[in-house]
Amino acid sequence: MHPADSPGQPAGDRSVLVLGLPRAGATWVAETLAAGPGTRLVNEPDNETSRPFAVRAKLPLGRYPVLGAGERAPQEYRTLWERAFGGADAADGPRTRIAEALLRRLSPAERWNGFCRPRPGASPGLRAISALAVPPAPRDTPSRVVVKSAHAAFAAEWIAARWQPHVVIVLRHPYNAVASWTELGWGGCGLAGNQKIVERYVRKLGLPALAPNCSRLSRVAWEIGLQLSALGAAAAQHPDWVVVRHEDLCLDRVGRFQALYAALGLDWTHEVEVHLKRSNRPAEGLVTMRVAEEQPERWRRRLSADQVEEIARVLDLFPAVPSSR
């Protein structure tokens, strides 16, 4: 272990790390865990599409950093997580506002080339954002912090080893995740070209390689299968981590969340139950409100029979990923 990456201030009983794939329901879980009094949510501090300091911290690492416990990480990436577990959310000030404006104007190609291609190359816009970005300022720490990430599947053990939070892994039926990514027009993040991911996960876990010249749908299914496998493998090595299924939470919101609160040593309050009721209503897009009971089988209305067959051909090659239809 490099001295710079020795364990930091343990988050201990006051912090929770919620991990999941993008569009897997982890934000809903994190918001519900942070709904009680004295708790602060820091949502996706490492999301480079919306946070300028995440651009600066992740340019050397890519969209999905690959770090094992005790490995050396860039100082900016360590600062990002240190501030998050300290309860610091978004930075403020004129530099940040300029960086945010530049970030909104970035093209998808600039983001892809900067964070996803096998040999990333930062555009002048990304370099300007990185130069302007500052970390969130330290602030008074609440009694508990809930930090959520959809980009840390391959760095989960590094984060957990340094800050020692309670870890919650949120899994969602892979067909629901594929359907959501597809509707948003997402086409994958180039994970098959990331040599660290190939060496540490694809080969080590005996996962299938991505078929050459495959469709965007197959590429998305493969990346979801890969990330679910990585999260599952990490959770298997840490029996103290809590694994929850989005579908179970949807079908028994109060009962399942009460059990999750108990597993984490949190106090269930009236405010939490009110939050659950308020979030259970129709909505679309990137907001987290949904009619919970409709979510487990929603993929059946969003995917055609041909799409389901193509997804199944990919996911059936991932031993630890449920692909039942």
Q: Look at residues 13, 5, 47, 12 and name the one whose alpha carbon lies nearest to residue 27.
A: 47
Q: Tell which wins on pLDDT, 306 or 187.
A: 306
Instruction: Find where tokens 């790390």 sit.
Output: 17
- On whether the CB atoms of residues 32 and 279 are closer than 8 A, the answer is yes
**Model pLDDT for residues 211-223, shown as the tens digit of each residue:** 889 999 999 999 9
Q: In this predicted structure, what is the pLDDT of residue 5?
A: 54
Q: Judge whether residue 261 has pLDDT over 80.
A: yes
Q: Tell which wins on pLDDT, 239 or 297.
A: 239
Q: Judge whether residue 3 has pLDDT over 60.
A: no
Instruction: Find where tokens 């005790």 sit.
Output: 70
- Domain residue extents for the chain: 3-173+241-291
- How would residue 293 be classed by pLDDT, with cut points 50, 70 and 90? low
188-216 mean pLDDT: 93
Q: In this predicted structure, what is the pLDDT of residue 143?
A: 82
- How would residue 135 be classed by pLDDT, with cut points 50, 70 and 90? very high
How large a percentage of the chain has pLDDT more than 70?
90
Q: What angle do CA 259, 290, 270 make, to 5 degrees?
A: 45
Q: Look at residues 226, 258, 264, 240 and name the one whose alpha carbon lies nearest to residue 16.
A: 264
Q: Judge whether residue 287 has pLDDT over 50.
A: no
Residues facing 43 on adjacent strands: 148
Q: In this predicted structure, what is the pLDDT of residue 13?
A: 56
At 317, list the tokens.
């090659």
| Alpha carbons 157 and 66: distance in angstroms, whole number | 10
> What CATH class is the domain 3-173+241-291?
alpha beta
Q: Look at residues 321, 285, 3, 16 and name the one whose alpha carbon lies nearest to residue 143.
A: 16
Q: Judge whether residue 124 has pLDDT over 80.
A: yes
Q: In this predicted structure, what is the pLDDT of residue 4?
A: 45
Q: Look at residues 93, 49, 37, 85 and name the one whose alpha carbon lies nearest to residue 269.
A: 37
Q: Judge whether residue 285 has pLDDT over 70.
A: no
**pTM to 2 decimal places:** 0.90
- On whether the CB atoms of residues 265 and 11 are closer than 8 A, the answer is no
3-class secondary structure, 83: helix
| Alpha carbons 127 and 135: distance in angstroms, whole number | 16
Q: How far is CA 13 from CA 46, 163, 259, in A?
A: 22, 11, 17
* Average pLDDT across the chain, whole number: 89
At 117, list the tokens.
């291609």
- On whether the CB atoms of residues 147 and 159 are closer than 8 A, the answer is no
**Model pLDDT for residues 4-57, shown as the tens digit of each residue:** 454 555 544 579 999 999 989 999 999 999 998 889 999 999 999 999 999 999
Q: Tell which wins on pLDDT, 166 or 137.
A: 166
248-268 mean pLDDT: 93
Beta strands per DSSP E along the chain: 15-20, 39-43, 144-149, 166-171, 242-245
Dihedral of CA atoms 199, 318, 211, 224 in degrees, nearest 10, equals: -80
Chain centroid to CA 258: how far? Answer: 23
Q: Judge whether residue 84 has pLDDT over 70.
A: yes
Burial class for 142, CB neighbours closer than 10 Å (0-12, 13-18, 19+): middle
- How would residue 75 be classed by pLDDT, with cut points 50, 70 and 90? very high
Instruction: Give the 3-state secondary structure of 313-324.
Output: HHHCCCCCCCCC
